[in-house]
Amino acid sequence: MIHTISTLAAPAAIGPYSQGNQAGHFIFLSGQLPVDMESGAFPESVEEQTEKSLTNIRSILESSGCTMDNVIKTTVFLSDMNNFGAMNGVYEKFFSKNAYPSRSAVEVATLPKDALVEIEAIAYID
């Protein structure tokens, strides 16, 4: 059975998709843009955008009774691979050392609303 995840603690989907879905012991989160919940805008720097994207992921996970420690895989989409180091510096602070999730990071031509970063995640629930 698939359960759709939706929370007001993270930005609503901007298209015909859900914030996430739970299927069995897995949670699949849609890519999270760096939307600031108060202003609706994106922060300027890739560091701030990475923090917002991961904060939005954390909020969705928390609405499902999970934490960032449940994340087993992420995909990071960057508009410029030259921002990899800056993104990585913020990214590592959201996960427990020695228990980092598997990850792919790719450069894409353009992200929605000209974001610098978008991050999606898969989590596992015991």
The pTM score is: 0.96
- What is residue 8's predicted lDDT score, i.e. its pLDDT? 95
Give the total number of structural domains in the chain. 1
Burial 36-75 (b: 16+ CB within 10 A, else e): eeeeeebbeebbbbbbbbbbbbbbbbebbebebebbeebe
Q: Which domain holds residue 94?
A: 2-124
- What is residue 50's predicted lDDT score, i.e. its pLDDT? 98
pLDDT tens for residues 22-45?
A: 999 999 999 999 999 889 899 999
pLDDT tens for residues 51-76?
A: 999 999 999 999 999 999 999 999 99
Q: What is the CATH number of the domain that holds 73?
A: 3.30.1330.40
**126 has pLDDT over 90:** no
With tokens 């980092």, the residue in question is 100
Distance of CA 62 to the CA centre of its chain: 13
- What is residue 54's predicted lDDT score, i.e. its pLDDT? 98
